[in-house]
Structure 1
């Protein structure tokens, strides 16, 4: 899966297009400067393992072009479609890697940290499973319905409602 799709990233090189932050660790990973194994990459997004896993399966899905954080997203820039695409990718990766066949918030945890609670200022979707094997602190850090962690569905809903009120 990763080998054939790794070649796709070279078609859309963020560094060449000016949508690359040379100080950003995730930009470097996507641009293959860090030696990190990419589990998936296409023209829009890449996925790799988290270096400090909070669960046996903890992956990060990031846009290939540098996007700061959740607050910098807008519906008009096509971010809703990209979020939905990210969701489809993490679903496939989680099924393949962890043998999870049902996606519920009881079994899997996936979402974003809300600023200022972001450790890296490059939008990244956390994908964690199984929740039952997460420690107390991890469950707190990736807590649903908290001020610091929101699901992709919540973020999409926020973007859609934000555009409707403007």
Structure 2
């Protein structure tokens, strides 16, 4: 979770850009007011991007880690929160999961069965740009983090359950 508030009521559908968004160098949606859009373009000083082997995604450490390894996987294109996703976005979520696993492996996390990946469900999002939380080892989540990243709660949905919802 990053520390910037965004209004979720004006989130665009995944195929369009946010109000005020401009086309970037390759035509992707870009919202200059969105901190994750700026991070994706390396316009935010001090944010270390991690290699996730995807041209469409970026990955970086969460500024308030809930686990020893806590990363965010973010589309470079401005996409609203997870509630705006549609059935055709299953492949995007799968690609985000793969990118998260790639980063964990590069960080020498070997037990991929002790990982929690998911999204905060609106209105419990601090940033109105789609982002996947990747936490490992999940068994080392602290008390507060176990609440904030609780599987399939009212405020957090696992990536697998998100895929199930989209396919239904």
TM > 0.5:
yes
The equivalent residue for 1:38 is 49
The question of 1:73 aligning with 2:91 is answered: no
| Cα distance in structure 2, aligned partners of 1:111 and 1:63 | 14
- 1:88-147 deviation per Cα after TM superposition (whole angstroms, max 9, x unaligned): 1111111221x332322xx21110000000011100000011123221111100001211
Alignment of 1:61-100 (within 5 A): 61-76=73-88, 79-97=89-107, 99-100=108-109
Tell me, in whole angstroms, the C-alpha distance in 2 between the residues paired with 1:96 and 1:18.
28
Runs of 4+ in 1 over 6 A off after TM superposition: none
Task: Report which of the two has the higher share of helix.
Answer: 1
- Which one of the candidate residues 130, 134, 145 is aligned to 2:152? 145
- TM-score (ref. length: structure 1): 0.81
Aligned residues: 144
Q: Is the 8 A contact 2:28 2:76 kept in 1?
A: no
Structure 2 gaps of 5+ residues are 1-21
Q: Indicate yes or no: 2:102 matched with 1:102.
A: no
Higher relative contact order (CA 8 A, sep 6+): 2
Q: Identify unmatched segments of 5+ residues in structure 1.
A: 1-12, 162-166
The answer for the alignment partner of 1:48 in structure 2 is 60
**RMSD in angstroms over aligned alpha carbons?**
1.7
| 1:22 aligns with one of 13, 32, 41 | 32
Offset of 1:14 from its aligned partner? 5.9
